[in-house]
Amino acid sequence: MTQDVSISPELIGQLIDGTIDNDNAQRLLRLERKDKGRFFQYIEALQQRVAWKEKILLRLGDKLYIVASAPGQRIVKCACGHEFGDYRQNWKLGCRVRVKRSLDDMLTVYDPAPACPEPDIQEIREFFCPACATQHAVEVVAPGYPVVFEMLPDLDKFYREYLGQPLPDEGTDWYQDRSDDVTREWAKAG
Ligand SMILES: [Zn+2]
């Protein structure tokens, strides 16, 4: 096992792809935590794995990213290229959704049966990209419960205060939940 503390782009790539070996995984775990450069190495490796050019600001899921699509625009984008819109609006509202309500339906994804949610008290919602059908999220909630907004990051605070590299379109109105704008439009469309 090497004592080299540098991390190659190949190693970061193996970490992302899940092919890293145990020795190297242990070595990464032992490195100094506050190594800010590693975040940008990670972003660069992610960027090489997508077919589009918009700059990735943060990864939300295996195939889901917040990207800077144009000056002053931060949107959620699927690896396939589908754009969900402004990252302040819950991207799940732009998904195809499958809801499992019956015990039979739930048992298709739960095993063993005792682990299964209880019909009428809970439902399983599966969220898919409308373009490539990647399943981006699953939530188990009470029927009627609002769609869960899993993560609204304060990107400006993260880039300025943690990474020390403020974003060029930094502003005070980024860190706001704008999901209501979407449902308001739905209500108008009736
Ligand atoms: Zn997609």
Task: Give distance in angstroms: CA of 136 to centre of ligand 1.
Answer: 9
pLDDT at 176 over 90: yes
Q: What is the distance in A from the centroid of ligand 1 to the CA of 19?
A: 23
Q: Which of 74, 27, 29 has the alpha carbon at shortest distance from 54? A: 74
Assessment of whether the complete model's pTM goes beyond 0.85: yes
Phi/psi of residue 32, each to 5°? -55, 130
C-alpha to C-alpha distance for 147 and 177, rounded to whole angstroms: 13
For 150-169, write each residue's pLDDT tens digit: 999 999 999 999 999 999 99
Residues with CB under 5 A from ligand 1 (ion): 78, 80, 82, 129, 131-132, 134
43, 60, 171, 176, 181 from 156: Cα distances, Å: 16, 16, 8, 12, 22
